């Protein structure tokens, strides 16, 4: 049978990729917000700020989900 539990080396590989995943997610949402602000200006909605906060929350959610999944294994 296959061993479904990750080895200690695999856990470290998963945990090492978390900062890159967070950085890429936050950067993409920030970039999209800047693009929307430049192309669709609006006086009462700041797309950059709204999408940046959404990106941070999604990155945190993904990090918490991934760490919980690694801890269960």
Q: Does the reported pTM lie above 0.85?
A: no
- Is the per-residue pLDDT at 63 higher than 80? yes
Which of 28, 36, 37, 34 shows the shortest CA–CA distance to 55? 28
Q: Note whether 48 and 26 are within 8 A (CB).
A: no
Residue 3 — very low, low, confident or very high, per pLDDT cuts 50/70/90? low
Q: What whole-number distance in Å separates Cα of residue 10 and Cα of residue 73?
A: 11
Q: What sections of 1-73 are H helices per DSSP?
A: 8-16, 18-39, 47-72
Where do the structural domains in the chain lie, given as residue ranges? Answer: 22-72
Tens of pLDDT, residues 15-52: 888 999 999 999 999 999 999 999 998 888 899 999 99
What is the Rg, in whole angstroms, of the alpha carbon atoms belonging to the chain? Answer: 17
């Amino acid at each position: 049978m296959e061993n479904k539990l990750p080895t200690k080396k695999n856990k470290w590989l998963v945990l090492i990729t978390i900062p890159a995943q967070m950085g890429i997610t936050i950067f993409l949402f920030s970039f999209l917000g800047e693009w929307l602000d430049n192309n669709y200006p609006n006086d009462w909605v700041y797309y950059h700020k709204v999408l940046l906060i959404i990106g941070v929350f999604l990155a945190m959610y993904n990090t918490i989900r991934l760490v919980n999944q690694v801890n269960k294994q």
